[in-house]
Amino acid sequence: MAKLDHETLLGSLHQQFGDKINKLEGAFGLLTIETSKDTIIEVLRYLKMAPELQFIYLTDITAVHYPTHDLSMAVVYHVHSLVNQTRIRIKVFLDGMKPEIPSATVLWAGANWMERETYDFFGVIFTGHPDLRRILNVDDMDVFPMRKEYPLEDPNRVDKKDFFFGR
Amino acid sequence: MSDIKLAPAPPGVTGSGFFATTLDKAVGLARANSLWPLPFATSCCGIEFMATMGATYDLARFGAERPSFSPRQSDMLMVMGTIAKKMGPVLKQVYVQMAEPRWVIAVGACASSGGIFDTYSVLQGIDEVIPVDVYVPGCPPRPEAILDGVMRLQDIVRSESVRRRDTDEYKALLESYGIYKHG
């Protein structure tokens, strides 16, 4: 089957969702679109179910923290159409103070651990997730370490100063 | 004439047909030359330990012939590699399962101080969860350095009083790590 090109894919999405989706600057030839948390599940459902698209494979869910943006938390979905040899990236920008988004576990069971990881590192709340708790970090951790307000190193430490290593 | 060297006898009184020394020194001599190691290897320092156990460096020369993979039959816990915070309780449980007397060597920068991993997920030195007797520096340390660490531990073991583990100071040390002895 021929590879699905970006124009056809974008046209199909615009026809279905109108101005609820926007094209963003993509990198590495990857079509990137933006949508809102109200439409994200419908967009994903359409991508997965539409017979001419068949984006049946959820590659990844993660997040990006942009501390200078008004909507400072971006949740990123990568989905892959195996039959059409095409991938697409979907971003949803959320309020960093209250990052909440519906869970994609209604479409892919495999979204479960990806969303737990995104919650673990960024504190994004996936509403409707069956078991939203930390997956990689220790259970009693009280921060979300991939947020950029979290310091890379403990600034109060004195035992690893360059002075002790002759630097 | 064999060139095999035996461990030197501890200081004592010797005469025709007898040798007298203190119980501490006799027990210390026995313990120091039969330390059974428990390797707890999580990364590259563990590879150096494998070389240390192998024929070229041969840790068995120091009485550590039998690496124990059960904490219950070992004396010397050798922690080699990065210990993530999530691994901390596991390491502590292994330590608690060891019978007294027990000793700990932190091999390499990560086990000693967290090493280059100054980050949210890594324990900044295993002495945050269990008491450590000997620290071996290096990233990773060469087998010679690990052997030297074992020999420094032998010095500690040789001079340890048989009653040390019953003292209030030792009990307080364990309690500072949240380890309580029963009975």
Q: Å from A53 to nearest chain B CA?
A: 40
Residue A25, pLDDT score: 85
Residues in chain B within 8 Å Cβ distance of A137: 85-86, 120-121
Class of residue B96 by CB neighbours under 10 A (exposed 0-12, middle 13-18, buried 19+): middle
The ipTM is 0.71
- Thinking of the domain A6-147, which architecture would CATH place it in? 2-Layer Sandwich (3.30)
Q: In what helix (H) or strand (E) does residue B134 lie, and over which residues does it extend?
A: strand B134-136
- Residue A112 confidence class, pLDDT cut points 50, 70, 90: very high
Is pLDDT of A1 > 70?
no
Mean pLDDT of chain A: 89
A35 SS3 class:
strand
Which positions ≥6 away from B95 have C-beta within 8 Å?
B71, B77, B102, B104, B129, B130, B179
Structural domains of chain B in order of their starting residue, each with its CATH number: 35-155 (3.40.50.12280)
Would you call A153 and B118 a contact, using CB atoms and an 8 Å cutoff?
yes
Of A113, A93, A89, nearest in space to A38 by CA: A93
Residue appearing with tokens 């967009």:
A43
A35 beta partners: A92
Q: What is the mean pLDDT of residues B3-28?
A: 87
- Residue A165 confidence class, pLDDT cut points 50, 70, 90: low
Of residues A138, A152, A153, nearest to B86 (C-beta): A138
How do residues A11-35 score in pLDDT, each as one tens digit?
999 999 988 888 888 788 889 999 9
A3 SS3 class:
coil
- pTM of the predicted protein model: 0.81
* B36 within 8 A of B76, measured Cβ to Cβ: yes
Which positions ≥6 away from B77 have C-beta within 8 Å?
B37, B38, B40, B71, B94, B95, B98, B102, B103, B104, B105, B130
Between CA A115 and CA A55 the distance in angstroms is 19
Is pLDDT of A154 > 70?
no
Is pLDDT of B161 > 70?
yes
How do residues A57-71 score in pLDDT, each as one tens digit?
999 999 999 999 999
Q: Where are the domains of chain A?
A: 6-147
Higher pLDDT, A105 or A29: A105
Q: Å from A77 to nearest chain B CA?
A: 25
- When scoring A137, A147, A149, A167 by the number of chain B Cβ atoms within 10 A, the one with the most, hence best to mutate, is A137
- Cβ–Cβ contact B119 with A under 8 A: yes
Closest-CA residue in chain A for B116?
A160
